[in-house]
Amino acid sequence: MPPILNRVGIIRAMGSGSSKNSSQKNTPAAAPPSRASEKSTHSSRKRLSVLGEGGPSDGSDSPLAAQGASSASGSSSCDLLFAYDIAVKPGFDPEDENESKECQDETLVIEGFMNDPKKVLVCVFDGHGTNGRKAATWCKREFPKLLQISVGKGLNEQEALKEACQGTEDGLAKSGFDVYFSGSTATFLIIDDKTMHFSWVGDSRAVLALQPGSSSKVIAKEMTHDHKPDDPKEKARIQSSGGVVQAVGDEDDSPMRIFSKEMLDEGRWAPGLAMSRSVGDLLATSLGAIPLADYEKHEMEGNESFVIMASDGLWEVFDNDEAVKWVHSYAMRKKEASGVLPGHATGATMMTTAQAIAEEAQRRWCSTFNEEVVVDDTSVIIIWLNNNVYNFGDSHITVLDHHSVPHRKRKASLVVQ
């Protein structure tokens, strides 16, 4: 079977022969730490205004730094009592410890967004394709600027988020690097003191944990809905645009993908995108894979405990309810000696909750799939909301980790995520 030219997911082999993860660049990233140790090689805590996959920032490299975004120097720029955990863990090949994989995930938090001390912007981007890393980095840099422009024009949050997504795709088309077969998912959250504005393109997901009444348990409320080609409305749009929606192979769990009929007739399985919406992926866009952001609003009532925003590296192996229960349990069981959230103390002895669940997700990738697997990049942001349940200690403290890679080796033969 001819190779799929672009997908979200990893194809080890299609018929005869094999292919490496096509979301990787030709130039490998720096080798990950030894799988002999699961300890992080980078863990830092500080007050922040902007942070991302590359580490915490004092605001000087912020995409909004020149436009008056808040700085983290001195005191916090945000009046809201939130704390954050962020983990960005590169994927890896369990069968080849010497093979490095470029991480294509990006994260971003901007406190005091739009110079408003009551606003926070949180983003997760998951790149895919040959230039997926470039696409995700472009989105991280340009989307907040475009969103700020849209809000400045007087648009409400829903319309501003949609316009900024479209503008980001338009910019990608003129970026100077090829996004014909590359792009990124995008999931956003704007929080103020009363309202959460969720918006998304693709299959990175946001889930809200609620703790109703006096219950000590949490329940999950999915705030985004994965954009998949087999959704009836999405499929109808794709087909009306000339796209073909079908799976690869005969496996029951093979995801539906978008293909060009003309290319299929030529024996070329392209573009093979396993999402119905994305930013970039210009061939898929011509076949109905729009960059239009969906939107969901949540008015806070005081029973909100935390939000999990994560790339599909997490959601492939956790369902929503399981994830919020896992996070709550870990946070309550693994508190620091001072009683604050795991990883949120000076001289912390515990992994943060985001780091712990990201590592658990990657372990599950290795132990659950019975085929040959290249473990996906896994990004997790947890926004802690309810200080009556979770002791933040010094509020706005954030632990960020993006190097620790768990080790598990397992043989397999084929995976199409």
Question: What is the per-residue pLDDT for 400?
Answer: 55
**Block residue for tokens 């132990």:** 367
Residue-wise burial string across 23-60, b where 16 or more C-beta atoms lie within 10 A, e elsewhere: bbbeeeeeebbeeeeeebeebebebbbbbbbebbbbbe
Closest to 307 (Cα-Cα) out of 333, 284, 337, 327: 327
Sequence ranges of the domains in the chain: 44-225+295-401
Cβ atoms of residues 141 and 174 within 8 Å: no
Q: Mean pLDDT of residues grouped by 10 in the chain (417 residues)?
A: 33 24 30 31 29 34 33 46 89 76 93 91 96 96 97 96 97 94 97 94 97 85 97 97 89 86 91 96 96 97 95 96 97 93 88 95 85 84 89 61 37 25
**Spatial distance between the Cα atoms of 191 and 289, rounded to a whole number of angstroms:** 28
Q: Distance between alpha carbon 50 and the CA centroid of its chain, in Å?
A: 16
Question: What is the per-residue pLDDT for 229?
Answer: 97
Question: What is the per-residue pLDDT for 62?
Answer: 38
Question: What is the per-residue pLDDT for 79?
Answer: 74
Q: How many CB atoms lie within 10 A of CB 308?
A: 27
Question: What is the per-residue pLDDT for 60?
Answer: 32
Q: What is the DSSP string of 270-334?
A: -EEES-SB-EE-HHHHHTT-B-PPEEEEEE--S-EEEEEEE-HHHHTT--HHHHHHHHHHHHHHS
Question: What is the per-residue pLDDT for 25?
Answer: 30
Question: What is the per-residue pLDDT for 98?
Answer: 67
User: Which residues have CB under 8 Å from 413's CB, separation 6+?
Assistant: 12, 13, 371, 372
Cβ atoms of residues 399 and 87 within 8 Å: no
CATH code for the domain defined by 44-225+295-401: 3.60.40.10
Based on the number of CB atoms within 10 Å of its own CB, is 136 exposed (0-12), middle (13-18) or buried (19 or more)?
buried
Q: Token pair of 9, please?
A: 């997911």
Q: Are strands 105-111 and 256-260 parallel, antiparallel or unpaired?
A: unpaired
**Spatial distance between the Cα atoms of 154 and 23, rounded to a whole number of angstroms:** 38
Widest CA span of the chain, in angstroms?
Answer: 64
Question: What is the per-residue pLDDT for 166?
Answer: 96
